[in-house]
Amino acid sequence: MRHPSVSLKPARFLCAFLLLAWLALLTGCWLDGPQSTFDVKGPVARAQLDVFMVTVYVTAFIFVVVGSVLAFATLRFKARSTADEQAEPPPQSHGNFLAEISLVSASVLCLVIIAFPTLKNIWFTYDVPEEQRTSAYEITATGYQWWFRFEYPGEQINGVGPLVTGNELVIPASRPVRINLRTVDVIHSFWVPKLAGKVDMIPNRANHLWLRADEPGYYYGQCAEFCGDSHAIMRFRVIALPAQEFAAWLANQEQPARAVTPAVMAAAGDRPHAVFASFKTAGGGAGDALSGSPEFDTNPFAAWKEKQVADPALENPVLIAEGRRLFQQKTCFVCHTIRGHEGIGVTGPDLTHVGARTTIAAGTLENTPPRMYDWIANPNYFKPGNKMYNGGYTDPATGQQLINLNDAEVNALVAYLQSLK
């Protein structure tokens, strides 16, 4: 019988590659991206990373041991001459009590080493620890195709109900936050890689998770369960604020939408429309790059803070008033609510303070006037299958156009929505 000898060259390359990859992992290279599970910023994500690393170490140990034995056997017993190759194989045997019991024990030991931290952290990550429970802040997150609704049950607005926002979840930093997970349609999954994740939002099931941001910051979230056409761009953001700033944010959010008062209109005088003629970009309502401005991409937290403040000098009250009129006339209010202005809709995100968000289209686009123009002008381009287009702008069954917006109308809507700080 011939025993073909195995060339070791590819194996050596593979080993070198794995070693380099492993070193890169250890040094944290490439692992600090916005959705990295290695760059943890809270105790829940840290506990999950710990379990992962224990598993990696144990399995790496097994890999090295088994690999060494395999390499040794391959080298030591390889055929070295034609006579070797043509020799009969040595007598075959199986069943060695000592070898078998050692292998079984070693395997059990490895599993036990992994099981201890796993079980401990399953309990830890399941709910806010007993001693912190009284200080936990409660929020309800609901998944929609394809965006997130956030409700603050502790913040009741007179005659309205709890405070509701969309796609940007603002939380207090350094404080446990307990999040109820719901869905109105299919299964989604709530995931903020640097803080905690992931737990599914399942129909007719009251799931929850908890997280805590060690420090104030801007964190990226993502739906982590396939939920239809635009699942991959069903994103959200988590903004963690120090206690005082969080309280101030809540107070502002509870206010009804900012209004363009007659006084503001008068003060603005006859500011020429030309300055605000068009938010339309060269892309003609369908820009290609999904990335944001360099400032936003490098420091989104600073960009978020900037977004909270209105600059009346840059606003055109006439255009804003026209936008508000169009919001009604074009029936936007059927799906969206702008509390204090118009709106009864609950099928789309609440837009009461949409101008103060850094993103639109569920974290897909930076919230700038040109981007908002692109989004309103051509929502199906950025989020295929979305309900604003299919069912709002066009009838999905017949393809018949229901709402038609010209450039001037989109501009006015953008001016209005951007004014809602």
What residues line the site for ligand CUA (CB under 6 A)?
143, 146, 188, 223, 225-227, 231, 234
Neighbours of 292 (CB within 10 A): 18
Q: Which is nearer to ligand CUA, 319 or 362 (CB)?
A: 362
The nearest distance, CB 41 to ligand CUA, in angstroms, is: 23
User: Which CB, 47 or 141, lies closer to ligand CUA?
Assistant: 141
Give the distance, in angstroms, between the CA of residue 371 and the centroid of all CA atoms in the same chain. 20
Nearer Cβ to ligand CUA, position 222 or 253? 222
Least Cβ distance, residue 239 to ligand CUA (angstroms): 20
Q: At closest approach, how far in Å is the CB of 253 from ligand CUA?
A: 24
Closest CB 394 distance from ligand CUA, rounded Å: 23
Is the bond leading into 9 cis (omega within 30 degrees of zero)?
no
Complex with ligand CUA: residue 47 or 181, whichever CB lies closer: 181
Return d(Cα 272, Cα 341) in angstroms, integer.
25
Using the minimum distance from each CB to ligand CUA, give the nearer residue, 143 or 317: 143
> For residues 387 and 349, is the Cβ–Cβ distance under 8 A?
no
DSSP one-letter string for 2-67: --PPPP-HHHHHHHHHHHHHHHHHHTTTT--STT-SSS--SHHHHHHHHHHHHHHHHHHHHHHHHH
DSSP string, 205-262: --EEEEE--SSSEEEEEEE-S--STTGGG-EEEEEEE-HHHHHHHHHHHHSPPP---H
142 versus 352: smaller Cβ distance to ligand CUA: 142
Length of the chain: 421
> 401 with 390: CB under 8 angstroms?
no
- Using the 8-state DSSP alphabet, how is residue 401 labeled? B
Q: In angstroms, what CA-CA distances link 321 with 157, 281, 312, 317, 327?
A: 26, 23, 14, 6, 10
CB 139, min distance to ligand CUA, A: 18
Please report how close the Cβ of residue 230 comes to ligand CUA at its closest, in angstroms: 8
Q: How far is the CB of 35 from ligand CUA (least distance, A)?
A: 14
Query: Which residue number, 151 or 409, has a Cβ lying nearer to ligand CUA?
Result: 151
For ligand CUA, the closer CB: 148 or 327: 148
Least Å from the CB of residue 214 to ligand CUA: 27
Q: In what order do the strands lie in the sheet with 161-166?
A: 161-166, 147-157, 137-144, 177-183, 207-211
Helix, coil or strand: residue 421 = coil
Distance CA 380, CA 151 (A): 27
